[in-house]
Amino acid sequence: MLKLTPILLALLYGLAMYRFSAWRTAQELNRRSSELADPELKALTDRMAEALELPRIPVHIYEVAPVNGLAAPDGRIFITRGFYDHYRQGEISAAEMASVIAHELGHVALGHARRRMIDFSGQNALRTALGMVLARFLPGLGPLVAGALTSLLAARLSRADEYEADAYATALLLKAGIGAGPQLSLFEKLDRLTGANGGAVPAWLLSHPKTEDRIRRIRANLAGWQG
């Protein structure tokens, strides 16, 4: 039992740190966001809400410059001011922005926040266990190797979540009569809008799939569903 104590402590520490991080994120979002009031976008979110049999889908603006959308641990959906500005400037259509909202709804509906909490705690325990084992064979380097291996696992799990949320968004957009076209056209613009250069980084190190892989997966889903 004593041998397992560090692992159990790491598990509890990971759980506590995740909850603290979620609380701090909620406080930041409360302080720097407000509910979006955009008639054109609301018309589209109302169609998605009807498809989901919900009264409405509130969307909030997070007042930061980076281009991003996010689903808070409490289930709220956010679009960053930077993303919304591209929409207001005509670089992104309302339907393309709706595809972002649909993706974030996917994270909420599929329980990814809860899964991340479990994964984060488990990864912390795994990092500790691996570090203890590897330290016997790689003195001084064991914890570093364990950390690197755990980070690779975390990135792979995160990419799986993104693919799932993409598929959910595609299905919702189709059901709402918006179609998958805006989702695909947004991805074709995404690297330019975010300034990303994912091609310079090996895919297995990325927390999000490469854009071309996401487009390919969406097209494959569509072909499979229509077939």
The residues spanned by each domain of the chain are: 5-226
pLDDT at 203: 44
The top-scoring range by mean pLDDT among 27-31, 36-40, 158-162 is: 36-40
3-state SS assignment for residue 78? strand
Q: pLDDT band for position 205 (50/70/90)?
A: very low
**pLDDT, mean of residues 112-121:** 64
Residue closest to 221 by CA, chosen among 168, 182, 177, 178: 168
pLDDT at 226: 77
Residue 195 pLDDT > 70: yes
Q: What is the edge-to-edge ordering of all strands in the sheet holding 69-71? A: 33-35, 59-62, 77-80, 69-71
**Which segment of 54-68, 90-104, 194-208 scores lowest on mean pLDDT?**
194-208
Please give the model's pTM, rounded to 2 decimal places.
0.75
